[in-house]
Structure 1
């Protein structure tokens, strides 16, 4: 099974479920501080505590998730028949599937 493309697809969709948390943390940090200054997003008006607290939470969470994601994918990348670029592209894109599904299913329709 490890030689087929379905193994990394399944692995990364499953890793994407807990990956919703670090993806959301990165989005929240970017939306309320650096990107808000560029006018790309609207800053939360009640967020006046500064970015340090969020950075202290985001860096360890994203770091641990990235380490888990990499350590799960690295051995599998060597055993699949996919090329290196195809494997890593598939892995990154399928990791975002649970987040995208969550966004779509909770979108408010007016």
Structure 2
């Protein structure tokens, strides 16, 4: 049976550490997000007419998959390992924790999108 989520200062401290770690991981995480957008904008989204492909991009998607795929996979692995909650029941509920972790990781990318 699942333990109820704890409340109080210990839970808030754990959440603050997790959000800080995810924001810090999101700073280098800008690169995999950009790689995913570049790939999507130049091939699948351009094929259905939602975006215009880069005119000088004539190598096809294979180099992007070979170079960008491992970068995205390594980042996803690092993110998952960072966010694996300890098994002592001191973490918040998964329904709240995982979306907040994803949003905290995307915060630097969203900040760049707004600023630029």
Question: After TM superposition, which residue ranges in structure 1, 4 or more long, deviate above 4 angstroms?
Answer: none
User: Alignment partner of 1:79: what SS?
Assistant: coil
Q: TM-score, normalised by structure 2?
A: 0.83
Q: Which of the residues 39, 44, 50 maps onto 2:49?
A: 39
Compare CA radii of gyration and give the structure with the larger one: 2
Q: Deviations over 1:21-64 (max 9, x none)?
A: 00000000000001111111111111111110011011100110
In 1, Cα distance between the equivalents of 2:86 and 2:43?
A: 37
Q: TM-score, normalised by structure 1?
A: 0.87
Instruction: Identify the structure with the greater helix proportion.
Output: 1
Q: Which of the residues 94, 98, 107 maps onto 2:104?
A: 94
Task: State the Cα distance separating 1:2 from its structure 2 match.
Answer: 6.2
In structure 1, the gaps of 5 or more residues are none
In structure 2, the gaps of 5 or more residues are 1-8
User: Alignment partner of 1:96: what SS?
Assistant: helix
Between the two proteins, the alignment pairs up a number of residues equal to 105
In 2, Cα distance between the equivalents of 1:14 and 1:96?
A: 10
- After superposing the two structures, state which structure 1 stretch, 46-55 or 3-12, moved more: 3-12
